[in-house]
Structure 1
Amino acid sequence: MTPAITSRDTQRTINFLGECYRVRVSGQDTAGTFAVLDTEAERGHGSPMHLHRHDCEIFLVLEGALRVVVDGQEHEAGAGSAAVLPAGLAHGFVVTSETARYLTMRQGPTFEQFVAAAADEGISAPAQLTEIAAAHGIDIVGPPLVP
Structure 2
Amino acid sequence: MTDVVHRPAGIGPMTWAMGSLFEHVLTGAESGGALGLALVTQPPGTATPLHRHTHEAEGFYLLDGTMTYRAGEDDFHLGAGDFIWLPSGLPHAFRVTGDRPVRFLGMSAPGGLLRLYDEVGVPAAERRLPGEDGQSMDVEIPRWNEMAPKYGLEVLGPPLPQER
Common topology (TM > 0.5): yes
Q: Aligned runs of 1:95-134 on 2, under 5 Å?
A: 95-98=96-99, 99-120=101-122, 124=139, 126-134=141-149
1:19 is aligned to 2:4: no
**Partner of residue 158, structure 2:** 143
CA distance in 2, matches of 1:57, 1:48: 16
CA distance in 1, matches of 2:10, 2:81: 27
* Number of residue-to-residue matches in the alignment: 146
**Partner of residue 64, structure 2:** 63
Deviation at 1:37, TM superposition (A): 0.8
Per-residue CA deviations over 1:39-62 (Å, capped at 9, x if unaligned) read 112111132111110211001011
Per-residue CA deviations over 1:89-144 (Å, capped at 9, x if unaligned) read 10011110222111111102321111011115x66264431231111111111122
Give unpaired runs (5+ residues) of structure 2: 123-134
CA distance in 1, matches of 2:98, 2:41: 12
Contact 1:44 1:146 survives alignment (8 Å): no
**Partner of residue 80, structure 1:** 81
Deviation at 1:4, TM superposition (A): 0.8
CA distance in 1, matches of 2:73, 2:142: 24
Contact 1:130 1:139 survives alignment (8 Å): no
Higher CA-based Rg: 2
Point out the more displaced range, 130-139 or 68-77.
Answer: 130-139
**Partner of residue 31, structure 1:** 32
CA distance in 1, matches of 2:40, 2:86: 18
Aligned residues with identical type, % of pairs = 23
Per the normalisation by structure 2, the TM-score is 0.82
What secondary structure sits across from 2:22 in the alignment? Answer: strand
Q: Which amino acid aligns with 1:27?
A: G
Q: Which amino acid aligns with 1:146?
A: P
Per the normalisation by structure 1, the TM-score is 0.90
Q: Aligned runs of 1:86-97 on 2, under 5 Å?
A: 86-97=87-98
What is the aligned-residue RMSD (CA, Å)?
A: 1.7
1:42 is aligned to 2:57: no
Contact 1:118 1:129 survives alignment (8 Å): yes
Contact 1:42 1:95 survives alignment (8 Å): yes
